[in-house]
Amino acid sequence: MAATLRDVAAAAGVSVSTASRALTGSPEISEPTRRRVSRAAESMGYRRNLAAVSLRTRRSGLVGLVLNNLVNNTFHTVVEAVQQRLVASGYQALLCITNADPAIEADYLRLLRDHQVDSVLIVGTGRNAEEINALRASGVTVIDLIREIDGSLGPAVLAGDRDGAVAATRHLLDQGHRRIAFMGGPADTNSGRDRFAGFAQTLAEAGLAPDPALVRRGPFEVAFGAQAMTELLRSETAPTALMLSNHEATYGALPVLARSGLEIPADLSVVAFEDMPLLEWWSPPITVVDTGAHELGRLAVELLLQPPDGREARPRRYTVGADLVVRSSTAPPRG
């Protein structure tokens, strides 16, 4: 006969309510008690009846995590931070990878609603505001993460993309660079818009403007980065510096640059957005704008766990600051 919660509580020497709170990660339970109850449950083969819990509490304990890909190292870090925090709070994450396809994303959002998830964190394509708002109308908490979705009626947790681009561009200008190439994301995404806006704003303050021949903007794809880097290397106006602000495209751009024979930073200074081990291990290590992936995930879960505030007149935006991390890939231009 299967063990019950009452059996676990008796074995651990606690009340049934204490055993229940211990197994759901309640912060009211001390760590020694939590360990004692967990050991008792494991030794007895006890498993919670999630369907019964859901019927009783009207909470499923499930959180949908919807994102475009796992190529982006920021997404990796966010998933880890979110998963750790959710498990500690008694929740489980359902990971949905959309490959940046709006139709797949819409299917996942409907599936999550059918499974009565409590909440959803979404790094979205920006094309499914109607489905997202339908989730909210059904009582599901939805938080837009990293990429703000036009028409979405809920809160968004975003990186300091514009400020990060300002800091990176100013760093290059201070070193004496004037011909700065820019590789960025699509203009219909907030990161694509804000990073280019910060770049252009800082050039303007120095009496300069982006050179169209040195600007490439496209999808968050490795192939785009390789193509854009190839085109920039063939440009008649040779840049002395490059800002890689499309993270996925960086995976395609750096190998092309490595094969080109150009020396970094003597021939070309390089700054990238969103840190990852590859950039720190590159030769030479790449200067980056660190967008605070772990903090983005932590803040999103903190908001998700708060009770909804019906007094909000409009969706709130929460921004995590970006930090410039200077490494060996940037230096004053030759001559």
Determine the pLDDT at residue 89. Answer: 78
Same domain, 137 and 73: yes
Same domain, 173 and 145: no
Phi-psi sector, 275: left (phi>0), alpha (psi -120 to 50), beta = beta
Same domain, 144 and 203: no
Answer yes or no: is 23 within a domain: no
Q: Provide the angle, in degrees to the nearest 10, between the axes of the packed helices 247-259 and 222-233.
A: 40
Determine the pLDDT at residue 9. Answer: 87
Domain that residue 238 falls in: 161-292
Domain count, the chain: 2
Determine the pLDDT at residue 48. Answer: 65
Strands 323-325 and 317-320: unpaired
Cα-flanking dihedrals φ and ψ of residue 287, to 5°? Answer: -65, 135
Nearest-CA neighbor of 91 among 113, 120, 66?
120
Same domain, 132 and 226: no
Q: Provide the angle, in degrees to the nearest 10, between the axes of the packed helices 31-44 and 16-23.
A: 90
**What's the number of CA atoms in the CB half-sphere (13 Å) around residue 89?**
19
Determine the pLDDT at residue 16. Answer: 82
Same domain, 165 and 286: yes
Answer yes or no: is 127 within a domain: yes
Determine the pLDDT at residue 116. Answer: 86
Mean pLDDT, the chain cut into blocks of 10 residues (335 residues total): 81 85 75 85 74 52 92 92 84 92 95 90 94 91 92 93 98 98 95 97 97 96 97 93 97 97 97 96 97 94 76 74 97 90
Answer yes or no: is 118 within a domain: yes
Same domain, 180 and 287: yes
CB-CB neighbours of 313 under 10 Å: 5
Answer yes or no: is 39 within a domain: no
Same domain, 258 and 298: no
Determine the pLDDT at residue 31. Answer: 82
Same domain, 94 and 166: no
Here the tokens at position 254 are 């750096």
Determine the pLDDT at residue 212. Answer: 96
DSSP calls for 261-295: TPPTTTT-EEEEES--HHHHHSSSPPEEEE--HHH
Same domain, 110 and 188: no
Answer yes or no: is 45 within a domain: no
Answer yes or no: is 52 within a domain: no
Determine the pLDDT at residue 60. Answer: 76
Answer yes or no: is 298 within a domain: yes
Cα-flanking dihedrals φ and ψ of residue 133, to 5°? Answer: -70, -30
Q: How far apart are CA 268 and CA 240, in angstroms?
A: 5
Q: CA distances (Å), 224 to each of 62, 106, 193, 242, 309, in order?
A: 36, 25, 17, 16, 41
Q: How far apart are CA 282 and CA 73, in angstroms?
A: 15
Cα-flanking dihedrals φ and ψ of residue 288, to 5°? Answer: -135, 160
Q: CA distances (Å), 154 to each of 254, 264, 303, in order?
A: 37, 43, 11
Determine the pLDDT at residue 59. Answer: 64
What CATH number corresponds to the domain at position 270? Answer: 3.40.50.2300
Determine the pLDDT at residue 314. Answer: 59
Answer yes or no: is 335 within a domain: no
